[in-house]
């Protein structure tokens, strides 16, 4: 019995020694395994710390009080205080500001520029125009540049610096603006220049201007420096030379103002045709004289909203005998129906012609509508029913 106990104790001692030796043998290997990643991490840390750093020398440029119409250009200095190349991915201007140029890559320790431009012609009072930079700086991927100014109009127009027209072709209208000044010196309009027609590079023929110094009793009230002269500028738009479409021109007014020598009055609006034709061309397609589609309609509508009944269509003539025409007024004032009908005795074949419509319009008294058709012979059944 005692010998068995001794044997059990000896086995337990052997097992304990074996486990102890195995644990001791594993420790250097584990230490070796854990030491390698730590060393690598220590080596990698300087690489991870390298990055570009955006530093803006002067993020805000304040111009103070400036004259309206002045052009502001400013180059913001951008420095890279990091360890790798700073990339300016984009420079996005806000409303009323443009970006002339910017350095796309800035080396570590070097300085680049972002140049912004602001035209103050359309502004008055305090303004703040911004440029948003997008960079590869991990800490500040976006940042903002700002131009501040207080825009003072030394020359202004009453009631506004624009005129708007809604005209029919051939008609003309005149609108006026009053120019006044905040200058200390006597104010004077020296010249008015018409807009230029880009097609001819000559002054447009559908805009005319005159100007005159305003009598004391006729001055615009409560505007400008007291005692300062005011000038009335008359702008006439329209006439026989006016082109149909939207108006988008500017009249250039020259003054003796030392702060704001140039003033522009914008001309907007539209010149509409005196009447409209719908459709502007006709194609009957393949048709027999007895088809329902052998009859088509052209509508003429007056664009004169004040007196549409003044527009009259007197007659319509077809250039080909295969198509006959008739004219009658519709139920609406200033509206006429021109009916085009394939003649019952029209011979088969292609038709290519036009219908000429005569009106009392002074600008476009005659209008032509092209028309085409391929006339087929009537079927026996259709001929029998006739």
Class of domain 155-272: mainly beta
Q: pLDDT tens digit string along 276-292?
A: 999 999 999 999 999 99
Name the token pair of 71. 């052009």
**By the 8 A CB rule, do 55 and 80 touch?**
yes
Question: What pLDDT sits at residue 33?
Answer: 47
The fold of the 275-385 domain, in CATH, is: Immunoglobulin-like (2.60.40)
Q: Which of 329, 163, 333, 321 is nearest to 247 (CA)?
A: 163
Question: What pLDDT sits at residue 31?
Answer: 44
Q: pLDDT tens digit string along 51-109?
A: 999 999 999 999 999 999 899 999 999 999 999 999 999 999 998 889 989 999 999 99
Average pLDDT of every residue of the chain: 88
Percent of the chain, pLDDT > 90?
Answer: 79
In the chain, what are the domain boundaries?
A: 54-152, 155-272, 275-385
Second-level CATH architecture of 54-152: Sandwich (2.60)
| pLDDT confidence bin for 241, thresholds 50/70/90 | confident
Question: What pLDDT sits at residue 121?
Answer: 86
Q: pLDDT tens digit string along 149-175?
A: 999 999 999 999 999 999 999 999 999
Q: Lowest-pLDDT range, 89-93, 120-124, 211-215, 230-234? A: 120-124
**By the 8 A CB rule, do 84 and 52 touch?**
yes
Q: Kindly tell me if the per-residue pLDDT of 1 is higher than 50.
A: no
pTM: 0.69
| pLDDT confidence bin for 211, thresholds 50/70/90 | very high
d(CA 249, CA 247): 6
Which run of H or E residues covers position 284?
Answer: strand 282-287
Say if 54-152 and 155-272 have the same CATH topology.
yes
The CA angle 47-49-53, to the nearest 5 degrees, is 125
Residue 49, classified by CB atoms within 10 Å of its CB into exposed (0-12), middle (13-18) or buried (19+), is exposed
What average pLDDT score do residues 323-334 get?
96
Order of strands across the sheet that contains 142-152? 60-67, 142-152, 125-135, 86-93, 105-106
């Amino acid at each position: 019995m005692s010998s068995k106990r001794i044997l059990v104790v000896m086995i337990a001692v052997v097992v304990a020694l074996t486990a102890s030796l195995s644990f001791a043998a594993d420790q250097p290997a584990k230490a070796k395994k854990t030491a390698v990643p730590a060393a690598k991490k220590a080596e990698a840390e300087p690489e991870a710390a390298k990055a570009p750093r955006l530093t803006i020398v002067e993020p805000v440029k304040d111009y103070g009080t400036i004259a309206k119409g002045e052009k502001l250009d400013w180059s913001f200095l951008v420095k890279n205080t990091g360890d790798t190349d700073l990339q300016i991915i984009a420079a996005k201007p806000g409303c009323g500001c443009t970006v002339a140029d910017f350095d796309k890559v800035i080396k570590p320790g070097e300085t680049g520029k972002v140049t912004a431009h602001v035209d103050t012609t359309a502004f008055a009072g305090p303004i703040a125009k911004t440029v948003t930079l997008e960079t590869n700086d991990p800490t500040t991927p976006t940042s903002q540049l700002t131009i501040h100014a207080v825009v003072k109009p030394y020359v202004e127009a009453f009631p506004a610096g624009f005129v708007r027209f809604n005209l029919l072709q051939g008609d003309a209208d005149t609108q006026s603006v009053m120019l006044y000044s905040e200058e200390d010196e006597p104010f004077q309009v020296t010249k008015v220049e018409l807009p230029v027609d880009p097609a001819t590079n000559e002054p447009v023929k559908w805009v005319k201007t005159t100007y005159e110094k305003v009598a004391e009793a006729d001055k615009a009230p409560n505007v400008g420096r007291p005692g300062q002269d005011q000038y009335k500028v008359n702008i006439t738009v329209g006439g026989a030379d006016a082109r149909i479409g939207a108006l988008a021109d500017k009249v250039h007014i020259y003054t003796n103002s030392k702060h704001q020598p140039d003033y522009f009055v914008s001309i907007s609006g539209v010149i509409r045709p005196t009447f409209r034709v719908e459709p502007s061309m006709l194609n009957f397609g393949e048709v027999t004289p007895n088809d329902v589609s052998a009859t088509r309609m052209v509508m003429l509508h007056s664009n004169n909203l004040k007196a549409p009944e003044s527009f009259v269509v007197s007659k319509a003539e077809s250039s080909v005998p295969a198509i006959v025409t008739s004219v009658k007024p519709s139920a609406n004032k200033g509206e006429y129906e021109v009916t085009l009908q394939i003649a019952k005795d029209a011979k088969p074949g292609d038709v290519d012609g036009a219908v000429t419509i005569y009106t009392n319009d002074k600008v476009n008294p005659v209008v032509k509508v092209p028309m085409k058709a391929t006339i087929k012979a009537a079927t026996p059944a259709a001929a029998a029913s006739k």
